Structure 1
Amino acid sequence: MNQPISITAISSISPLGKTTKSIWNTYLNDSHCFTEKDDVLVATFPKELKADIEQLRQSNIKYKSLDNSVLYAMFASRQAIKNAGWKPTDNFGINIGSSRGATALFETYHEEFLRNKKAEILTSPTTTLGNISSWVAHDLLTQGPEISHSITCSTALHAMLNGIAWINSGMCDKFLVGGSEAPLTAFTIAQMQALKIYSRANCHSERSEKSHFPNQALNPNKTENTMILGEGAAMACLESGVHKNALAKIIGVGYATEILEHNASLSTNAMCFQRSMTMALGDLNPNEIDVIVTHTPGTIKGDQAEINAISTIFCNKIPSLTTNKWKIGHSLGASGLLSIEMAVLMLQHQKFISVPYLKTEAPKHIKHILVNAVGFGGNAVSILLSK
């Protein structure tokens, strides 16, 4: 890091809600946000938020043909720059990514193609991953650079890396970064089920009692894979230097990619995480890390690999570990920024959000939090935040 980067605003929409107050209050309870859809568990938006997204869709004739992944990004981005006090004339950059992109729209268009042997006119421009940042820029009337990308589940944190790189280069002093995901479609869920990583729990099973948590993220003792998909979008406003109104500072970043052992898995000891966390720590003593917000999606091998990596790097003192995936599921490309938001809230409130089925000692104070994300292919990112 050439200099600290300030996070001057964060906005998200997820099963937790849309306002900072509602999101924090939902984190404070021990209930998960999963409901059943077509015999599988998913984490979806509250009814009020769904109505807000539909209102956005109907507000402009051009928006009616857009996928939810784009609308989610637009909705969250509007609130983020409002919170930061940015204006379109600030010419800030935009980097918003997505793992899957326009899932629902692509599936609809493909079904119509199979049926009619002809593609709809807007199929290509509305299903490309590049349209997310472009539409957000159009909606916000900005003039700065815009980037869209997909690096699977570490997409949002790679967007943060890009924003930091642009700011440190001197080419831009403000960047809107984040991720957006609308993966609750039949084909997307089927892909995860084909990998045998999706939770088999449902609302009618004995395991769905109040005491049960169908996603067992971070639990090293689970005996089956328990990943559940959730939808969401989260954006952060980054500015160079240290600002009085900053929610938190980014004081370290790390990234790494390891040689593939399997198309969807990490190595046993997650060497990519070991390298990314070490890079993010820099000269900081590992003992000074108070909390790690883990990626841990709820799979046996993936969760254990990250735990192994943490145990290796923090061999003298393991920080307090937590995750939000037991509560809101895995929002793929947006998940890393939702983890950043959770970390920022813990820094602000000086309260550790634990995982209810794990015994974790809460830190006495919270100054440094490390946030991890990784995607298919072992592309890990670690972001170090400070109060």
Structure 2
Amino acid sequence: MSYLKKFLDQEVVPALGCTEPAAVALVVAKVKELFNDAKDLEVEVKVSTNVFKNGMYVGIPGLDGEKGNQLAAALSLLCGKSRYGLEALKDCSPEYTNMAKELIKNGRVKVTCITDKDGVYLEAHARNKSHQGYCIIEGHHDMITEIGFDGKVVFKKDVSTEALIPAPESIDEIFELAEAASPEELKKAYKSYELNKNMAEFALGKRRYTCLGAENSIESKIRRYCIEASGARMSGVKKPIMSTGGSGNQGIATTIPVGLVGEKIKASRKKVSKALILSHLFVSYIKARLGRLTPTCGAANAAAPAAAAGITYLLDGSKEQIINAAQTVLAGATGMLCDGAKESCAFKVGFSGSLAFSSALLALEGRGVKNNQGLVGESIEETLKNIKTVSTAGMPDIENVIINLIAK
């Protein structure tokens, strides 16, 4: 199996709802399945600051207006299935809501924050009168690393030696991989756009935005589709989207701008698919340097530069212009904070799609942000290093500050 095939299988995956409550549901479903009968179980889920914050106010798929990690955990105790991965709540329906709330009210389901853990980290501890078990997810939202039952470790995976597909090591490698993609890999990439576009069009329904001719603007269409797809997902529409780099909103902002531009210019499906692969690889390259979950918005700081690169590729930009388009996005979007997953993320995703498009055009015109401006360095690698330094050394306690503010 090729590197790219393994990469797409690992990083470009369908998700139902926000990936943080989805991971909570998955870890609970897995620990629940250790027991013969789940009806008397009590569960406590301990999560990192990033997971706690991102899942606090986001909608649960298929449950009108119901939100949060704790409800996701309770629902999973009732009807979650680990075999569905990040779609663990696929079989849940509204009739489970009151039962889930009753579990929470009776103290049988708790979610707490581990303040010294960041990134993706979850522990689910379950017990009844006779047995106790636990499950741990870390590194990736669907990566189970340890399971224990009645004091014995029954499964353990060493994350440091796990055969995860690493991010591309260089920009040159990204170009080589995109150009050499097989028909199967191209098909998978195009599916990521189709799935996310389908969510946008479902959310749009018969709405029309005709003010000032907005309906005829490709940039407006990009922004609108990104907003609608993300807003529907964040509010709990029970339809999957294709995530990238562990985030559904990143998946939306990575694919929709590229796909819509491809349709606008009537590019071949093969070229659009290559541009999408380029974008997915760019996301991985960026996230490997900034972190899987960060204090800053992944749609703006990873997906938007990746989409700008894909759009510039579609429009026959040179390698230098493609990199400059990504740099231009980073110059404009760096510092946008992640204050948790919720419906208003849609506006950040819409902004990201729009910025990706305009940055691509600026780069093609030779007007993108040049080197050594603020955090923008001599190369994209230096820029990402600068951003990483600011988000870690410069904002060491930002996650806890945000949690304290939004948890009031």
Query: Quick check: TM above 0.5?
Result: no
Greater gyration radius: 2
Q: Which has the higher contact order (CA 8 A, sep 6+)?
A: 1
User: Going by fraction, where is helix more abundant, 1 or 2?
Assistant: 2
TM class by shorter chain equals under 0.3
Q: TM-score with structure 1 length normalisation?
A: 0.26
